[in-house]
Amino acid sequence: MSGHTITPTRAEAAATVAGRTSRRSSLALSRAAQELDLKRGEFDLAVRLGRVRTVPDEGGGGRRVTRAEIDRVRAEDGFPEVLRGRVETVGTRDGAALMEVTPGRFTRFARLGLVVPVNWYVNRYRAVVWLYLADEVRQFAVEPENARLLTGRTPEGLRGQLETGVDLRPRNWRGRHLGFELRQAEDPWAKAAVVASLLDPVQTVEIVRDPYERAHLDRLRPVRPGQPAPESPAASIAARIMTAQDCDEIEWLRAELAQTLIEARRHRPAPRPAPGPPDRQATMPGCPPAAWGEAMRVPEGALLGRTAAMQPEQTRSRSMLGWLRRRDA
């Protein structure tokens, strides 16, 4: 082998050149965030909102941003202030200030689903902090049909929902998150993994019976930026938020997963181990298995001959021991 050189095919060489060219004409996400004057969290949200488009890394290293996309965003009017404004988020207190209502009223709006969170995190006190797009909060405040909600008593129908303990913030975030991830999914299997990521594992097993398909979905499962480590105290809180809870939501996701699986299977089968060679029985060189008994059988005469050959030696040993005993006596 040492004297031979493996020459790549023309297709392999072209793919290598294309990959190098693609990486030179695109930027890693961290570098793209710097080019767009955004903090990394702002940049991630801009990508999820579709404000900045990404492409797959030809080398398999995640996603990248093309130089052309960087130039397009930078050429927009009001860059970078307008872009920063589109990804600005506010919590409950700042959101209430934008609406000119109390934090309590703002929280009721969010629980009723009138404003939808775009992100969340668990603070050091293990409390969930919901974040909202500042643009959407401002838009809600200026729409005429919402004027009666900003002042006076909450309508009776909405009060009744609040009294039952309704809180649509997790569900609405999941719906928004699902849309974000589906836009990034490259093929039907990736889309199925996105849907499955919002279901309890027990629900997924009922829909996806094949263990190799489940393993493939697990490998493609999206990881949310800032998700707590599996062993951290906030992990159980995060798992509850990221898993469908309501019966109708669960049924819809189950149906969506089943349909997406049909499309994925048509696209291509899930990878599974290649069938190995049949088990080979150990064989003795030059000796078929059927002849093992004969090959391993020791002739009876050989054992007798060996015993006979040992007898004189044993007799000499006994005589020597007897002489030593008599001498010592």
Residue 129, strand partner residues: 121
The pLDDT tens digits for 75-89 are: 999 999 999 999 999
The pLDDT tens digits for 294-307 are: 444 444 444 444 44
Q: How many residues does the structure list for the chain?
A: 329
DSSP 8-state symbol, 316: H
- What is the structure's pLDDT at 175? 96
- What is the structure's pLDDT at 35? 96
Torsion of CA 20, 21, 25, 30, to 10 degrees: -10
DSSP 8-state symbol, 275: P
Confidence check: pLDDT of 289 > 80:
no
Rounded Cα distance between 54 and 320, Å, is 95
Give pTM, 2 decimals. Answer: 0.75
Confidence check: pLDDT of 287 > 60:
no
Rounded Cα distance between 189 and 274, Å, is 20
- Mean predicted confidence (pLDDT) in 286-299: 45
The pLDDT tens digits for 186-220 are: 899 999 999 999 999 999 999 999 999 999 999 99
pLDDT-above-90 percentage for the chain: 65
The residue with tokens 């002042």 is 151
- CB-count burial class (<10 Å; 0-12, 13-18, 19+) for 47: buried
Element (H, E) at 58: none
The pLDDT tens digits for 157-177 are: 999 999 999 999 999 999 999
- Mean predicted confidence (pLDDT) in 26-42: 95
Q: Provide Rg for the chain, Cα atoms.
A: 36
Per-chain mean pLDDT for the chain: 83
Closest CA to 42 of 77, 79, 86, 1: 86
Confidence check: pLDDT of 315 > 70:
no
